[in-house]
Structure 1
Amino acid sequence: MIADGLKWMFLIIGTTIGAGYASGREIWQFFGHESGLAIVIFSVLFIICCYVVLKISYQEQTEDYSMVLSKLMGPRLAKGYDVIIIFYLFTTTGIMIAGGGAALEYFSIPFSVGIAFMCTLLLIVAIRGVQGLTGLNSVLMPVLIISLAITLITFFWSHTGIEKIDWRSQSNWTAAFTFTSLNLLPLVAVLSATGKRIKHVGEIWIASIGSGITLGSLSLLYNESLLAAAEDIMLYEIPLFALLKTFPNTITAFMAILLWTAIFTTAASGLFGLSNRLRHVFSVRPWVMAVALLCLMIPLTEFGFSRLVSFLYPIYGVLNLYLLVVVVIHPFFLKNRT
């Protein structure tokens, strides 16, 4: 049970820690100054959301997110959010592919070659299904989390200008809700496909609490480190590199590789959730749907990574506030109904 719970935990973290999060751009976009309380609230909300989505998926034995959405908000509203999720997964996966190609340029690999390489790996993961996705995250996520944490801790303790959090001044606490609602979209899309593979409710508790505490702690450490380098962040498209400017080139190269893996896991999760949803609509094999989607996404690689985060992410965060409310109150609604 513990091993399976950790497997789902890494799937959740792999879905959440994408290019926006790992690069620091997403953290800086939503949090920043006076955001300690916001990150704590986010951790609690994230645990609740993971538990509710996994529990519904487990009880209903779902294979895609349409049934979970219907269970949460009814069939009529579910159709509207279905369109939002499809558009979200399509656009973000396409931009992640572009980000993967751009990240490999650090190693003098041509952009087009990087795109082709990433699409090939994504197709392999898509063919293997959820087993391939959970296996991928079980290997990559521990390395990514540990390496990112070590980098942040090293910067945090070596920087003399870092101050302790003033919990009496936390004006940005409302950012917790838009940040959670943004990350709720891919969670619903990916976790809804796990229903038939969860064997025990204990797995859900381990995955939910473990991922919430891990992401909350990492987010707080990341945010405080970025605050210490606030003057340099404007000079970098990827804020993480502002923290790494004093590190050796080998460390920077290693973190660039890890950043690429974060981009890849986000793209893999998005492609999996999207193809799993649409293959039932068009009645085609998963690999056929994956190939078709990848071909349609390639033109999106012309858009920039920072533009995606700064423009689309806040919009998606606001659009999904209603979904966040529905998910959080769902257990209380069931209790009152019984």
Structure 2
Amino acid sequence: MRINLGQSFRISMTIVGTTIGAGFASGREIWEFFGSYGEEGRYGIFLSMALYFAASVIILHIGWKKRTHHYSEVLQEVIGPKLARYFDGFVILSLLTGVLVMVAGSGATLEQWNGSFTLGTLLMAVAVVLVLFFDLRGIMSLNTLLMPVLTAILILVCFQALGSGGETAGLVEPEPENSLFPVWPSAITYAAFNMISLLAVLSTMGSQIRHPAEIWIASLLGASCLAVIAGLYNASLLKVSHLISQYNIPLFALIRDYSTTWNLIISLVLWFAIYTTAVSNMHGLVFRVAHRFPYPRWAVGLVIMAALVPLSQWGFVPLVQFLYPLYGVLNLFLFTLFLLYPFSEER
């Protein structure tokens, strides 16, 4: 059976699109998990992406071997039916809140341009539901189209920041806030932090894979792309570390001297990064619960969005500060079980 390189590329871009959400694209996650550790942060990025590669291979391999349709089937394979029932509820809640945060992030992005927060949330809700009309092919096509463009723009901004001289000349830059601590716990936490979204979307792709080599190619390409972007982003943010505290979105510290047109383009990049993650989370959620209802998947997604949009009025920053730490320990536990799966699998 021949290897479909095009399919590998589409899956790899889905991995990238699932990860590059509001936190990654804005630079906030990169700074908090890696940049705040100084030059050691680059080693943390390498470790985190190596773990990310391993998790992607494991999830895709289980999906291909078992022909899974949603994440619950993968969970049962890794941790057993009894424990999977408990974690199933946790994953559903994580995906719901993940979509909620992305919807609020869309409102916050529009607010940056003196627009309406509510209009921003409604725009995201409609855009996410539209993709559900096309099921799995829709999300893969979306990421294949958007990710190369978004990646190119982020890399261009990073190269511009790294190539600009004199911006920090004469300044005594403060030591990064976490420079006295080892970076590896943060690197592991970051990989685990993204575990749920990755599991939700990749577990639905088992039937799309025709050759096991596609799994390795897609995972390596996806993790490598993320590593390059994160590495360049981290190096760029370190150049303006003295300015990070002045910006809620560190990316704007890199483009502070850009024209209004470029600031608008970067804002659109942020919005689409939020969008791809929201689509991935909603996709995994709808595939999990749709079989319980006699309605098409887009209708189930519409009902979910109708419930989440009012809740998003709580605000983007409060949601991130409250919800993200809440899932930290459980994510680490689940991530560890997945990494140990190849060593415990019965052959």
Question: Could you say whether these structures have the same fold, taking a TM-score greater than 0.5 normalized by the shorter chain as the test?
Answer: yes
User: What is aligned with 2:176?
Assistant: none
- Check if 1:211 corresponds to 2:231: no
Question: CA-to-partner distance for each residue in 1:89-119, whole Å, 9 max, x for gaps?
Answer: 1112112112112323445543333322222
Partner letter of residue 162 of structure 2?
A: F
User: What is aligned with 1:220?
Assistant: 231
- Check if 1:238 corresponds to 2:244: no
SS for the counterpart of 2:205 is helix
On the 8 A contact 1:233/1:242 being kept in 2, the answer is yes
Question: CA-to-partner distance for each residue in 1:121-174, whole Å, 9 max, x for gaps?
Answer: 1111012111111111111100001100110121022155599xxxx9872121
Aligned equivalents of 2:80 and 2:86: distance in 1? 11
User: What is aligned with 1:120?
Assistant: 126
Partner letter of residue 238 of structure 2?
A: L
Aligned partner of 2:16 among 2, 13, 32: 13
User: What is aligned with 1:57?
Assistant: 63
- Check if 1:145 corresponds to 2:156: no
Partner letter of residue 129 of structure 1?
A: D
On the 8 A contact 1:94/1:298 being kept in 2, the answer is yes
Partner letter of residue 294 of structure 1?
A: M
Aligned partner of 1:278 among 263, 270, 289: 289
Aligned partner of 1:2 among 2, 5, 9: 5
Sort the Cα spacing of 1:21 and 1:159 in 2 relative to 1 into closer, same or farther, 3 A. farther
Aligned 1:164-179 pairs, distance under 5 A: 171-179=182-190
User: What is aligned with 1:188?
Assistant: 199
On the 8 A contact 1:26/1:309 being kept in 2, the answer is no
- Check if 1:306 corresponds to 2:312: no
- Check if 1:69 corresponds to 2:75: yes
Partner letter of residue 13 of structure 1?
A: V
Sort the Cα spacing of 1:156 and 1:313 in 2 relative to 1 into closer, same or farther, 3 A. farther
Question: CA-to-partner distance for each residue in 1:246-284, whole Å, 9 max, x for gaps?
Answer: 222221111101110001111111111111111123443
Aligned equivalents of 1:234 and 1:75: distance in 2? 46
SS for the counterpart of 2:257 is coil
Aligned equivalents of 1:149 and 1:295: distance in 2? 36
- Check if 1:266 corresponds to 2:277: yes
Taking structure 2 as the reference length, the TM-score comes to 0.90
| Unaligned stretches of 5+ residues in structure 2 | 174-178
On the 8 A contact 1:64/1:276 being kept in 2, the answer is yes
Give the CA deviation at 1:285. Answer: 2.3
On the 8 A contact 1:237/1:306 being kept in 2, the answer is no
Aligned equivalents of 1:120 and 1:151: distance in 2? 30
SS for the counterpart of 1:174 is helix
Taking structure 1 as the reference length, the TM-score comes to 0.92
On the 8 A contact 1:99/1:305 being kept in 2, the answer is yes
Give the CA deviation at 1:327. Answer: 1.3
Question: CA-to-partner distance for each residue in 1:283-325, whole Å, 9 max, x for gaps?
Answer: 4321221111001101221133233434433332332112111
Deviates more, 1:76-85 or 1:302-311: 302-311
Aligned partner of 2:28 among 20, 25, 29: 25
Deviates more, 1:302-311 or 1:283-292: 302-311
Question: CA-to-partner distance for each residue in 1:32-63, whole Å, 9 max, x for gaps?
Answer: 22322211111110110000000100111111
Question: CA-to-partner distance for each residue in 1:13-42, whole Å, 9 max, x for gaps?
Answer: 100101111011112222222322211111
Aligned equivalents of 1:15 and 1:303: distance in 2? 24
Aligned 1:98-137 pairs, distance under 5 A: 98-137=104-143
Give the CA deviation at 1:199. Answer: 1.5
How many residues end up aligned between the 2 structures?
332
Aligned equivalents of 1:315 and 1:26: distance in 2? 16
SS for the counterpart of 1:189 is helix
Aligned partner of 1:319 among 330, 339, 346: 330
Aligned equivalents of 2:318 and 2:157: distance in 1? 26
On the 8 A contact 1:13/1:211 being kept in 2, the answer is yes
Sort the Cα spacing of 1:225 and 1:318 in 2 relative to 1 into closer, same or farther, 3 A. farther
Sort the Cα spacing of 1:300 and 1:64 in 2 relative to 1 into closer, same or farther, 3 A. same
User: What is aligned with 1:297?
Assistant: 308
SS for the counterpart of 2:68 is coil
